[in-house]
Structure 1
């Protein structure tokens, strides 16, 4: 009798996985009002089949989440989609705008040999454009021995609101890496 083959799905996942993208959802700025004079916002981040969300901040259109969400990255060409919702207890949560961003410039910076650069060195700049949701120029920097990208996203499909994020990378042992 033949012995069962080990599952190849987990090993092939590790081979295709480049690493983890840690997204710090810092805060919302001037988010839309969806309840009486305020909102109860939370953020949902999606990439491919992955979906993560922050906690709900009650009655605040300028919420401070400072919450880390971690995505597994296999394909850096996939956009990261972000949607802000207003939590409602008795009805469907209201959408408060959405945005998306690319991680390509960030991943390219990760591939560079940056060891020895002074902290705070700007590696690359991503200007705001019609193709991205950046409210202002986003800089990829070498900070504390790692690549970091701060960004402020202008929400679409809503009257107002921005979300501030910070990206950094986590290398995994056994992964393909960059």
Structure 2
């Protein structure tokens, strides 16, 4: 595995941070590569060295967060609902500007869909339609219901400036998810 130069990572981080900050200030369509390079304090050519355009930058930014959430879920899946959910809510809190921007931005409508698809994949192992109580239910409907409820809770929490600490939200959402799985 090749090691990536720290300077490259630092530059990419500066560009990504600039993009998030700009998206929190103005609509995505109004952001230019020059805006991004000015905010990141890099040359326009440097932005193009790492990304094809602002759409590629946004896509890679979203993918990086989805990947990090997948990595969290890989080791957190052994925990109970509330504990695993707390780890994710702490991640959302650490990355508040990203999630606030993506969930509030009209320029990133695909984020919510990708977030929900990520959640559906993570919930697949938790839903068992072979049980008698679930026999009349469609697995896809159950998964979409859980993912939509979870994403909606995160969106509400973020857009309301995190009115509860991550552990409180995780506890409440974890209990609700557990009830859904046990009830269905």
| TM-score, length basis structure 2 | 0.28
- Name whichever structure is richer in helix by fraction: 2
| TM-score, length basis structure 1 | 0.29
- Higher relative contact order (CA closer than 8 Å, sequence separation 6+): 1
